[in-house]
């Protein structure tokens, strides 16, 4: 059996020493890998994670990917290499990546120039010109941006959704996605999990809330299925076991 697990977080470069980071330790992903290894010892487990993420105790094929683009490359490469039976996408992927970084003075000058360019009184053209400058400024190209800058403007753009690629890359796999909310009630978690599941053609979504994630014993997870049913587990080890058992059960049912 071939199993793909993503775990940890991603970080997007501002320059060679500064990053915008999505925090994620990879602890739960590592536990999921170990749970699968215990249930199907002969399986091949590919584990895509950021540098520094917690690794499984089991022997797995570790592939390091630190930003959204490198995660996409790693996932596409792994799916081209192996026909995965199960994919668990637990990595905390950034929703945005850095498009450009500029200093405030340069940005102000460019905006002023472009505002003067469109025909007088054409507010729509003026707005579009300013928008163009804001989204595509002359970026700073220093490997390390000088700390003498008084103010920096970091322009972010929407990053590709890795979860949306998975069904196209592994049509027959059991796919488990993750959804994290903050301050949500149980019905909100279930609804959010179902929405993510339907949007990306997953088989399960592990919906959890930030308030319970931090600890080991208090972490609560709801595993939402396609039919809207859900199963609850408390504690990271119990959540990992629930994910592995449910995914394997569904895979076995499909093969009968």
| 8 Å CB contact between 172 and 191 | no
pLDDT of residue 215: 53
pLDDT of residue 144: 85
pLDDT of residue 229: 95
Sheet holding 204-209, edge to edge: 61-64, 44-49, 2-7, 86-89, 174-181, 204-209, 220-225, 230-234
- Give the C-alpha separation, 81 to 57, whole Å: 24
Among the ranges given (24-33, 211-220, 222-231), the one the predictor scored with the smallest mean pLDDT: 211-220
Please report which residue ranges of 53-122 form alpha helices under DSSP H. 68-81, 104-116
pLDDT of residue 69: 94
pLDDT of residue 129: 73
Residues 79-126 have pLDDT tens digits of 999 999 999 999 999 999 888 888 887 878 877 777 666 656 666 777
Q: For residue 52, is it left (φ>0), alpha (ψ between -120 and 50) or beta?
A: left
Tell me the pairing of strands 152-158 and 96-103: antiparallel
- Give the C-alpha separation, 14 to 139, whole Å: 11
Tell me the pairing of strands 44-49 and 2-7: parallel
DSSP structure string for 114-180 = HHHSSPTT-HHHHHHHHHHHHHS------SS--TT-S-EEEEEEEPP-GGGGHHHH-TTSEEEEEEE
pLDDT of residue 56: 98
Q: Can you tell me the mean pLDDT for 200-216?
A: 85
Residues 145-161 have pLDDT tens digits of 888 888 888 888 899 99
Domains with residue ranges and CATH for the chain = 2-95+161-255 (3.40.50.10300), 97-158 (no CATH)
- Give the C-alpha separation, 153 to 100, whole Å: 8
Q: Can you tell me the mean pLDDT for 53-80?
A: 97
Residues 167-199 have pLDDT tens digits of 999 999 999 999 999 888 999 999 999 999 999
Taking CA 82 as the corner, what is the angle to CA 86 and CA 30, rounded to the nearest 5 degrees? 50
Closest Cα to residue 202, out of 76, 89, 40, 82? 89
pLDDT of residue 106: 80
pLDDT of residue 153: 85
* Structure confidence at residue 24 as a pLDDT band (50, 70, 90): confident
pLDDT of residue 68: 94
Q: Say what the pTM is.
A: 0.86
pLDDT of residue 27: 94
Residues 129-149 have pLDDT tens digits of 777 777 777 777 778 888 888
Token duo for residue 171: 């049509």
Q: Say whether pLDDT at 77 is over 90.
A: yes
pLDDT of residue 242: 98
pLDDT of residue 83: 97
Kindly report the average pLDDT of the chain as a whole number: 90
* Structure confidence at residue 217 as a pLDDT band (50, 70, 90): low
């Amino acid at each position: 059996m071939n199993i793909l697990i993503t775990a940890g977080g991603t970080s997007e470069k501002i320059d060679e020493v500064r990053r915008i980071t999505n925090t994620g330790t990879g602890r739960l992903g590592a536990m999921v890998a170990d749970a699968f290894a215990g249930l199907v010892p002969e399986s091949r487990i590919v584990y895509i994670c950021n540098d520094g993420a917690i690794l499984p105790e089991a022997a797995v094929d570790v592939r390091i990917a630190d930003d959204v683009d490198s995660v996409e490359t790693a996932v596409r490469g792994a799916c081209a290499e192996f026909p995965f039976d199960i994919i668990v996408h637990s990595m905390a992927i950034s929703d945005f990546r850095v498009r450009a970084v500029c200093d405030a003075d340069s940005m102000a000058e460019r905006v002023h120039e472009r505002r003067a360019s469109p025909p007088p009184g054409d507010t729509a053209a003026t707005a579009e010109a300013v928008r163009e400058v804001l989204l595509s400024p002359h970026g700073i190209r220093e490997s390390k941006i000088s700390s003498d800058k008084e103010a920096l403007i970091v322009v972010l753009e929407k990053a590709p959704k890795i979860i949306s690629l998975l069904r196209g890359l592994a049509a027959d796999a059991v796919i488990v996605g993750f959804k994290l909310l903050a301050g949500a009630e149980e019905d909100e978690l279930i609804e959010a999990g179902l929405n993510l599941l339907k949007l990306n053609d997953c088989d399960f979504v592990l919906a959890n809330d930030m308030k319970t994630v931090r600890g080991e014993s208090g972490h609560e997870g709801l595993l939402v299925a396609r039919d809207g049913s859900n199963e609850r587990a408390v504690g990271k080890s119990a959540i990992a076991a629930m994910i592995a058992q449910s995914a394997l059960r569904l895979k076995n049912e499909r093969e009968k």
